[in-house]
A and B are shown apart, each in its own frame.
Chain A
Amino acid sequence: GDSVTQMEGPVTLSEEAFLTINCTYTATGYPSLFWYVQYPGEGLQLLLKATKADDKGSNKGFEATYRKETTSFHLEKGSVQVSDSAVYFCALSNAGNMLTFGGGTRLMVKP
């Protein structure tokens, strides 16, 4: 079945550092890919998405590119802020089926 693998956290960075959170997936066909973010004490929020190969999703300074050849959808941000501290979930949806989430990666940004 479909699966999503994320790098284990926590990831600890200083403010203004470059962020990469790795995400790879296993799925048949051409899934849509998503990044969700969960701030402390809140539910998940959709951060960005990409629906086909080579698409780049972007929002709030975050970017991720759908790489079919490497089955990856890594999340990047050029300069993180303390307010970016949260848990980030990579997810896929295949052929209109339910979202399959990765295990989540906790990001901690220190001032």
Chain B
Amino acid sequence: DAGVIQSPRHEVTEMGQEVTLRCKPISGHDYLFWYRQTMMRGLELLIYFNNNVPIDDSGMPEDRFSAKMPNASFSTLKIQPSEPRDSAVYFCASSSQGPYEQYFGPGTRLTVT
């Protein structure tokens, strides 16, 4: 079975540009999570969805960040405008059992210059 799929795997962009990260969860999973990982702050939960509905976005750092889940098989995380401090690895994870046993994607490494 395919795991969580993220694209792109690497993204390099200039400050001020819009960045869109994509995620396809495991089929049948009804929870989807977006995380950000940096050396300084570790792993941070940004937002999570249940049945395509955003449940908790308290981890979203600023209004520049937005996330959508238009259907059960696709989610996006958008940063507009991007800033150098947004450079990080962004992970998507999905689960069929709430926060338990989350399955992580390979991540998108974002570099904002």
The interface size of chain A toward B, counting residues with CB under 8 Å, comes to 18
Interface members, chain A 33-61 (any B CB < 8 Å) = 34, 41-46, 49
A-B contact count (CB 8 A): 45
Q: Which of A49, A89, A104 contacts B101 (CB 8 A)?
A: A49
Closest beta carbon of chain A to B8's beta carbon, Å: 14
CB atoms of A98 and B48 under 8 A apart: yes
A42 to B100 CA separation, bound complex (whole angstroms): 19
CB atoms of A89 and B99 under 8 A apart: no
Closest beta carbon of chain B to A56's beta carbon, Å: 17
Q: Which of A41, A46, A89, A96 contacts B106 (CB 8 A)?
A: A41
A99 to B104 CA separation, bound complex (whole angstroms): 13
CB atoms of A44 and B104 under 8 A apart: yes
Is A5 close to B, CB under 8 A?
no
Closest beta carbon of chain A to B58's beta carbon, Å: 10
CB atoms of A103 and B42 under 8 A apart: yes
Is A73 close to B, CB under 8 A?
no
Q: Which residues of B contact A (CB under 8 A)?
A: 4, 33, 42-43, 45, 48, 56, 91, 93, 98-107
